[in-house]
Structure 1
Amino acid sequence: MEKTNNKNKVEKLLWSIALPGFGQILNGKYLKGVLLIALEILVNVQANFNLAIIYSFHGEIKQAIEVTNYQWLMFYPCLYMFAIWDAYKDSGGGKSPFSFIPIVFAAYFITVGLIYSSTFKIFGVLMGPIWLPIIFLGIGLCVGLVIRGFLINIFE
């Protein structure tokens, strides 16, 4: 029974990664799911996010930076990571202590990566508004896991 439940949690999490709100709809939280999908579309369109993704995948980082509306895109990391966490939690996940900490730090680090994405270079390479936040996602998860470990040791 536990394996089926874990598969269910992972399914909701993965659908939420595909499009924020899908996991909520699968969890039966229709209003929340539709709201998250609407917010995803609004922020995505206003930020020119899909165009920035296309330019980034083609290696045209300067064009990605130019088309990106950072005022709108700054909302995206928290919206996206919250939707993933919420779908996972609503499906029965996230019950261990401080399990939300890595996701919160990932959202924070993605946002910081986005802030510096138009100027920050790694080994002389400008990463832009797609690749630098993705790199910072991994860093944020790792930092969050370390902080979670410290918190567990302190409070339990």
Structure 2
Amino acid sequence: MTHYLHIKAMAKASRVEAILWSIALPGFGQLLNGKYIKGILLIVLEFFINLKSNLNMIIISSFHGDIQATIDQTNYHWFMFYPCVYMFGIWDAYKDAGGGTKPYAVVPFTFGAFFGTIGVVYSSDFLGAIWLGIFGLCVGFLIGMGLRLILVQQTNL
């Protein structure tokens, strides 16, 4: 019995590890899970979107509190792709590590991606691309968790 609990704890740790590496950079969780082609593709895609959207420059400006510079530096046509790629990378790494088997487990991730993109769309009017995108992503993830609970309860009736 203790061997089973040890394996279960290791599996949970590997899911958390995959999520954390994917938060650091999309594709790292896939590499950790042994999905090398998918991981390299996500890393290349992340670097390409990063380069085209000026992501590193807007992160620096955002952390310095220079929201107008953030807005001016952002290439919104490219940056709008980032929340979806980011959340897909996290979801995919989590799923490949053995997570996401419960019903509607993908819902928080998709809502996070959607609301993160909406945050990017409106970021030139409010908090800048980084802060409103992150805020939207977090709000969307929480809404998705709530919606997932409702969907699970509805299907269990």
Considering the TM-score relative to the shorter chain, is it more than 0.5? yes
Task: Say if 2:11 is the partner of 1:5.
Answer: yes
Structure 2 residue 140 is matched with structure 1 residue 140: yes
Name the SS of the counterpart of 2:125 in structure 1.
Answer: coil
2:83–2:137 Cα contact (<8 Å) kept:
no
Q: What corresponds to 2:36 in structure 1?
A: 30
**2:21 corresponds to:** 15
**What aligned pairs does 1:58-137 form with structure 2 within 5 A after superposition?**
58-120=64-126, 127-137=127-137
Q: Distance in 2 between matches of 1:118 and 1:139?
A: 18
For 1:73 and 1:12, locate their aligned partners in 2 and report how far apart those are by CA, in whole Å. Answer: 24
| Letter matched to residue 8 of structure 2 | E
Q: Please provide the CA RMSD for this pair.
A: 0.7
Deviation at 1:91, TM superposition (A): 0.5
8 Å contact from structure 2 (residues 28, 43) kept in 1:
yes
In 1, Cα distance between equivalents of 2:43 and 2:137: 22
For structure 1, the 5+ residue unaligned runs are 121-126
The 10-residue stretch of structure 1 (62-71 or 139-148) with the greater mean CA deviation from structure 2: 139-148
In the TM superposition, 1:43-58 aligns within 5 A as 43-58=49-64
TM-superposition CA deviations, 1:66-116 (whole Å, max 9, x none) = 010000001100000000000000010111110110110010000001100
Q: Which amino acid aligns with 2:146?
A: V
- Tell me, in whole angstroms, the C-alpha distance in 2 between the residues paired with 1:52 and 1:80: 16
Q: Counterpart of 2:38 in structure 1: which amino acid?
A: K
State the secondary structure of the residue aligned to 1:119.
coil
- Indicate if the aligned counterparts of 2:111 and 2:140 stay in contact, CA closer than 8 A: yes
Q: Distance in 2 between matches of 1:106 and 1:47?
A: 20
> How many angstroms apart in 2 are the aligned matches of 1:45 and 1:104?
24
- Percent sequence identity over matched residues? 53
SS in 1 for 2:34: coil
Deviation for aligned residue 1:133: 1.2
Count of residue pairs brought into register by the alignment: 150
**Residue 99 of structure 1: SS of its match in structure 2?**
coil
